[in-house]
């Protein structure tokens, strides 16, 4: 019977079981259900005990540009001016609401990441 994960030992054991289940060719079986439920429990434990911090707005922008294979010149087109892009990436200028909207739409960066203080 599956139970909530409350300790690091249970967490490690659950990870080992997930690994073992993933090595099998599971169809719609009791083991596939076990894998799904264990994954949910592990995800919840990790969310509580190993939270991943959000990137700063600048980290998110730089990462997304790299991920999309875009240049900083293309970022200038989104933001409007080359000098504005340089000021933002250097941290001298903060993003305004219009910039946040454009970046969120065009680079698909969540607005809650872009509005953080940095």
Per residue in 82-113, pLDDT (tens digit) is: 778 888 888 898 999 999 999 999 999 999 99
- Mean pLDDT, residues 6-23: 95
Number of domains, the chain? 2
Asked whether residue 2 is assigned to any structural domain, the reply reads no
The answer to whether the beta carbons of residues 38 and 21 sit under 8 Å apart is yes
Predicted confidence (pLDDT) per residue in 23-64, tens digit: 888 788 888 999 999 999 999 999 999 999 989 999 999 999
**Residue 110 lies inside a defined structural domain of this protein:** yes
- Clarify whether residues 28 and 64 are in a common domain: no
Distances (CA, A) of 40 to 6, 16, 26, 117: 14, 15, 17, 32
Structure tokens at 30: 């009791």
- 1 occurs within a structural domain: no
Residue 26: predicted pLDDT? 79
Q: Which helix (H) or strand (E) holds 2?
A: none
Q: In this structure, is residue 3 part of a structural domain?
A: no
Are 71 and 28 part of one and the same domain? Answer: no
**Domain residue limits at 79:** 57-114
Does the residue 43 lie in any domain?
yes
Same domain assignment for residues 39 and 67 = no
Same domain for 85 and 107: yes
Q: What is the pLDDT of residue 24?
A: 87
Q: Output the average pLDDT for the chain.
A: 92
64 and 104 co-located in one domain:
yes
- Model confidence at 67, pLDDT cuts 50, 70, 90, reads very high
Tokens of 112: 């809650």
pLDDT at 81 over 80: no
pLDDT, position 84: 83
pLDDT at residue 118 greater than cutoff 90: no
Per-residue model confidence (pLDDT) at position 89 = 87
Domain of residue 103, CATH code: 1.10.260.40
Residues 44, 3: Cα–Cα separation, whole Å: 12
């Amino acid at each position: 019977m599956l139970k909530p994960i409350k300790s690091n030992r249970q967490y490690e054991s659950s990870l080992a079981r997930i690994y073992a289940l993933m090595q099998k060719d599971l169809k719609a079986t009791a083991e596939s259900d076990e894998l799904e439920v264990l994954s949910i429990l592990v995800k919840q434990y990790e969310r509580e005990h190993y939270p991943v911090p959000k990137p700063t707005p600048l980290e998110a922008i730089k990462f997304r540009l790299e991920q999309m294979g875009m240049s900083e010149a293309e970022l200038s087109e989104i933001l409007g001016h080359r000098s504005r892009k340089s000021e933002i990436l250097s941290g001298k200028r903060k993003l305004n609401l219009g910039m946040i909207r454009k970046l969120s739409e065009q680079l698909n960066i969540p607005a809650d990441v872009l509005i953080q203080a940095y």
